[in-house]
A and B are shown apart, each in its own frame.
Chain A
């Protein structure tokens, strides 16, 4: 009997084998958007890590009054600012700061939003209604205004910028998580788990959450690009990263008065923001192509 069972299992394996789809990463590497996105983000990560470990050509904060507003040269590849600080080193340090804010805020909003959305869809009824109406309240604000409000209440600074951006994006994750939860909770395997006496919490965490991850992964990539933009916007308004700390938004804001005299102050941080956002957007597109078969070939 055991032999028959083993033979059956083997038969299933051999039958299934040819149908197996190529792996997730292999499919992602077949998507041109995904590949370009991965290349840009890898480059961005390397630059941010170099900035984090102090591997910048000069100190990003060191002022040098003899080298003020120097045009790009061999010594200063991207020129210097009004205080003689090296723009390249500040762009690298800015990458570290913006990535830190983006990752932390997306992690916070992703976890909070997913749990709220999944709980809302799973519990239904009054819980669903209350959670989603609260999320609607947050949706009625333009993102930057809500972030402004949070920063003013909490005070400016890196950690509060992270919290502000997390507050803005939590409702988006909640909405994205709720939809698939509604369809997954009606699946037979959830009913089966319930029949076996599995607790509701365990069903939510082990049976529902893993099966609603696909749209959330796409959302993470897009949220990273938005949070880069929001951080830069808040810093541009003087409410995010505070000078003298380097942030692309702060650098762009400082460049406004000097743009005619020293356009490099605007060009390099501007390009850095665009490249970062482009990278995450492209990766998001690639992930969507891979994870949502309905959308394949439409872009």
Chain B
């Protein structure tokens, strides 16, 4: 198992390298130079000597490929560079924002699973009934509604009907004030969880319908097992595999930051960090954030592989490796 996971992790190395190459050279294709992007209008006040020494300081005077390999070399030593806009090392900036995104992603997935699994199972049990129809309608709407619409609607309803402004004030850390933190993070999490719950519901329903038609379910019934045991131990467990894949893919995206929802609810997460870094052309930060997001994908993929083996003993990586 460990050998398999190591092999998988190594297989992702070219992908991660590809990401670094793509990001590094894409950013250098942006019109305008880095110094102007960093300093804005103040760059116009620099003398030629000042500009040259700044370029030398940031290594911008060297050819692109040298800059790339320097960056890669530093990366291997845990040095992601220095964010000019934040005046901090890139890694520190990312690690300060990541807990927000992680908390948001975990809550969103939990909300989606709570809604999606429950309604998916109910819809499959009461197949072709009114409940099923309502469930499917909910899924269709959930899949069609963009999260910026749901987010805007939630803010509208809360502010007009309940006098609550979910995005007011500065972000409070979970360790500082858990209650205030929960108040700030729950609505963006509902926004993200709602759309995802629709996908989970659809997947649960179709996977459960398929499993419920299998022979071993009939066998379990004929053995006289309770319906609840059949559903939870025999049906749902086997229906979970495609759902785990779905959750894995979605969690990868959520951990990559949800630019729009973080922007609407003014949450200082990874998505907003990436968005601001891109629009402010903070080279080192863009490189660091995108690499971080790609690494998240790799880790999530490995976790999903591991969860498969827990759910289905027939999936054993030991045999293959």
Contact = CB atoms under 8 A, between A and B. Distances in A.
Interface stretch (A71-79, A147-155, A195-203): A147-155
A102 to B, nearest CB: 14
B144 A299 contact: no
A270 interface: yes
Nearest to B294: A140
Interface stretch (B23-31, B38-46, B51-59): B23-31
Contact of B156 (A149, A249, A259, A277): A259
Given A141-B290, A142-B256, A145-B271, A252 B152 contact: yes
B185 interface: no
Interface string A251-284: 0110110011001001000100111011001100
Interface in A51-82: none
A19 interface: no
Interface in B266-312: 271, 274-275, 278-279, 281, 286, 290, 293-294, 297-298
For the complex, would chain A's binding face be called helix, strand, loop or mixed by DSSP majority? helix
Interface stretch (B12-20, B63-71, B87-95, B232-240): B12-20
B253 interface: yes
Contact of B26 (A133, A153, A282): A153
Given A141-B256, A282-B140, A274 B149 contact: yes
B160 A277 contact: no
A153 B155 CA distance: 32
A260 B15 contact: no
Interface in B228-264: 252-253, 256-260, 263-264
B149 A278 contact: no
Nearest to B271: A145
B9 interface: no
Contacts of A282: 140
Tier of interface size on chain A = 35 or more
Contacts of B315: none
Contacts of A278: 140-141, 143-144
A26 interface: no
> Which of B15, B209, B252, B281 counts the most chain A CB atoms within 10 A?
B15
Nearest to B136: A299
Given A153-B29, A232-B146, A252-B149, A142 B257 contact: yes
A193 to B, nearest CB: 34
B144 A281 contact: yes
Nearest to A278: B144
A134 B18 contact: yes
Interface string A227-239: 0010011001100
Given A140-B293, A141-B294, A145-B256, A298 B156 contact: no
Contact of A142 (B26, B30, B253): B253
A260 B159 contact: yes
B156 A137 contact: no
A213 interface: no
Interface in A134-187: 134, 136-145, 148-150, 152-153, 155
B317 interface: no
Contact of A237 (B23, B136, B259, B294): B259
Contacts of B275: 148, 237
A82 B140 CA distance: 32
B297 A140 contact: yes
Nearest to B264: A256
20 contacts: A133-B15, A136-B14, A138-B22, A140-B293, A141-B19, A141-B293, A141-B294, A142-B253, A144-B259, A145-B257, A145-B259, A145-B274, A149-B286, A236-B260, A249-B148, A252-B148, A252-B149, A260-B159, A270-B152, A282-B140
Given A143-B253, A150-B26, A270-B153, 4 more contacts: A141-B293, A232-B146, A233-B260, A266-B149
Task: List the 6 closest pairs (A to B, CB-CB), nearest first.
Answer: A137-B18, A142-B256, A278-B144, A140-B294, A277-B144, A259-B156
Interface of B: 14-16, 18-19, 22-23, 26-27, 29-31, 136, 140-141, 143-146, 148-149, 152-153, 155-156, 159-160, 202, 206, 209-210, 252-253, 256-260, 263-264, 271, 274-275, 278-279, 281, 286, 290, 293-294, 297-298
